[in-house]
A = this chain, B = another copy of it.
Amino acid sequence: MAATRRVLIIGSGGQLGRAVGQAFKARQWLTFGADAHAAAKAPVTHILAMDSGSAPEDQGRQLVSELQRKLGSERLDAIVNVAGGFAMGSASDPAVVANTKAMVESSVYTSVIAAHAASLALRPGGLLILPGATAAFGPTAWSLPYGAAKAAVHHLVRSLADMETSGLPAGVKTIGLAPQTLDTPQNREALPAADRGSWASLEEVAEQLETWCADPSAVESGKVYVIRKANSLPATFEAKNPMMFFASNFENS
């Protein structure tokens, strides 16, 4: 029998998070799930508390402490953070500051908590996956909150790949995941006329994440993987430098 593999999923109660939990459970992982908003919905072996009302440093401490208690002398093979939300808002939007706070809390603080948990509980050679965004490769005047938070996550990805200084166990790789539109009930309702053949399904994204976590050897640390899909063909995942402009963004800017 193969050794038990262990993954921590942050944002495990969200739509992508639930698909991730299912994909890992289906392949016999022991799954630990944490979510500030909907942990109870997560299809995971163990739910870890993450109190959205407390300060991020307290959330982090509580998460790590519960995780270590449940792990005992074992270590995680992977940490997958798929927390995050979405908000619009240019400078003139009355909600731009409040939305920035929401995006920072859901994407940036959870990613730093994930990195800190990785430093304490991830096995050498394990994989850490953080929630990036295709939008953050270029300017996002239409959403300062979303773009700024995701640019910060991309910066964490490239910083954590610096193995000498990162504070992570030896050989740990860190990557970002940058979805474009995913095929969810909400997106089907919001964009009824869209070309769904370019939308990756939650299942195919979750299965790719599991594949990477099961064997990170092909993964390039410090890159953000952009999900691409066209004509209903299987989604592909393209490694990009976190801070690089796309040609299309560059032309528009």
Contact = CB atoms under 8 A, between A and B. Distances in A.
Contacts of A222: 139, 253
A203 B109 CA distance: 36
Interface string A131-158: 0000010011110110111011111101
A170 interface: no
B112 A97 contact: yes
Contact of A141 (B55, B108, B162): B162
A160 interface: yes
A71 interface: no
Contacts of A213: none
Nearest to A155: B151
A100 B91 contact: no
B115 A168 contact: no
A57 interface: yes
Contact of A144 (B100, B112, B141): B112
Contacts of A57: 95, 97-98, 101
Contacts of A162: 139, 141, 253
Given A98-B57, A109-B101, A115-B96, A156 B148 contact: yes
A187 interface: no
A116 interface: yes
A92 B60 CA distance: 12
A90 interface: yes
B112 A168 contact: no
A80 to B, nearest CB: 16
A66 interface: no
B152 A149 contact: yes
Nearest to A138: B158
A40 interface: no
7 contacts: A59-B97, A91-B167, A108-B148, A140-B159, A141-B159, A222-B253, A243-B243
Interface of A: 55-57, 59-61, 90-93, 95-98, 100-101, 104, 108-109, 112-113, 115-116, 118-120, 136, 139-142, 144-145, 147-149, 151-156, 158-162, 164-168, 222, 243-245, 253
Complex A-B, nearest 8 residue pairs according to Cβ-Cβ distance, in ascending order: A92-B167, A90-B167, A151-B155, A141-B165, A141-B162, A92-B119, A57-B98, A91-B167
Given A57-B98, A141-B164, 12 more contacts: A61-B97, A90-B165, A91-B116, A91-B119, A97-B109, A139-B159, A147-B155, A148-B152, A158-B253, A161-B253, A162-B253, A243-B244
